[in-house]
Amino acid sequence: MIEVLRASPLMTVQDTGRPGLRHLGVPLAGMMDTPALMSANLLLGNPTDAAGLEISYGPTWLKAHQDLRIVMMGADMRARLMTPDGKHSIRDYLAPGFIHDIPAGHRIHCHAAAEPGQRSCLAVAGGIDVPLIMGSRSTDLNNRFGGYQGRTLRAGDILPVAVSPRQGNTGNNAHGIRQAGASMTLRAVVGPDYQAFTDRSQSAFWHTEWQVTPLSNRMGLRLNGERLQAHQQIDRQSSGVMPGVIQIPPDGQPIILGNDGQTTGGYPQFGCVASADLWQLAYLAPGTVIHFMQVSISEAQALAAAQTLKLKQLELWLGWTKS
């Protein structure tokens, strides 16, 4: 078991999400940087969809009530291994992307991320063993179910850890995986309503800067920049949307839908972030300046295939190093 001694704001249990239920109004949820969780799970010998913790900006203290093997990914929070009383550091730096053994009774201390709004991901051998609800262990904050009692974690919460199905990479903690760095350029495809926007707005979208505003969370990222305008008012029925969709509300300032975004939307759909770049949304802290780069549908498909292949290669490589 892991006890939360101090939780960062919006710290939640997340796995790879709850796909297949959008027709019932149930959003995806899941770790914002899903590939990071999947890689960490592979390193630990977990199924790729085992649940971990999403830690957002802010210091965090955890206590191991059993021997744990963990991998941290995402924003580097300078995690340390601390003595049971929390007073002394035993290891000053638990490097991201490597397996660390946490003896029972000891504590993990994570500093704040370098920038507020950045997230990190803590995976544990066996996975966080909260109940599987509607096919997932992810916390759905809006609908208040899943994860740990359907809410953000706070001090005193005790999280069960499942027995590790197999020992991943046992005894060899020398191998690590690299966290991809967010590039601040999101590749995107044009959406169903792109043509309804003026040439100037189309061009501005790809060629000007966008700043992430503080009104951004797991539901969506709101951007600030040139006002995007349609030729005429677009009256469209709402339709199903998904994470990555770039909506343009009447104020002309784009919203990128996140993992907790609503399942249907009525605003014009200007475009969508390529699936292979969705993980980057986890690191776009308020104030960050980003750009969009246009890719075609087939380019975006190739990027997605390459991302899938990369995880497959990691799995094969880990199998290789084990034998």
What amino acid occupies position 200? R
Decide if residue 241 touches other proteins (CB under 8 A).
Answer: yes
Tokens read off for 292: 């969009």
**Count of residues interacting with other proteins (CB under 8 A):** 46
Q: 144, 154, 200, 231: which one contacts other proteins (CB under 8 A)?
A: 144
Q: Shortest approach of other proteins to residue 293 CB, angstroms?
A: 14
Q: Supply the DSSP symbol for 132.
A: P
Q: Shortest approach of other proteins to residue 236 CB, angstroms?
A: 8
d(CA 14, CA 147): 7
Decide if residue 145 touches other proteins (CB under 8 A).
Answer: yes
CA 6 to the chain's CA centroid: 21
Binding residues for other proteins restricted to 214-233, rule: CB under 8 A = 233
| Widest pairwise Cα distance in the chain | 64
Minimum CB distance to other proteins smaller for 22 or for 175: 22
H-helix or E-strand containing 205? Answer: helix 199-207
Fill in the per-residue mask, 250 to 269: x = in contact with other proteins (CB under 8 A), - = not in contact: ------------xxx----x
Tokens read off for 38: 């999947």
Q: 173, 211, 253, 301: which one contacts other proteins (CB under 8 A)?
A: 301
d(CA 66, CA 49): 22
Binding residues for other proteins restricted to 19-38, rule: CB under 8 A = 19-27
Q: 273, 281, 284, 290: which one contacts other proteins (CB under 8 A)?
A: 273
- Residue 144: name the closest of 155, 133, 156, 129 by CA: 133
Decide if residue 239 touches other proteins (CB under 8 A).
Answer: yes
Are 288 and 211 in contact, with CB atoms under 8 Å apart? yes
Beta strands 185-190 and 289-294 are parallel
Q: 191, 220, 254, 268: which one contacts other proteins (CB under 8 A)?
A: 191
Beta strands 2-6 and 264-265 are unpaired
Decide if residue 130 touches other proteins (CB under 8 A).
Answer: no
The binding site for other proteins (CB under 8 A) comprises 19-27, 133-134, 140, 142-146, 150, 189, 191-192, 233, 235, 237-242, 244-245, 262-264, 269, 272-275, 297-298, 300-301, 304-305, 308
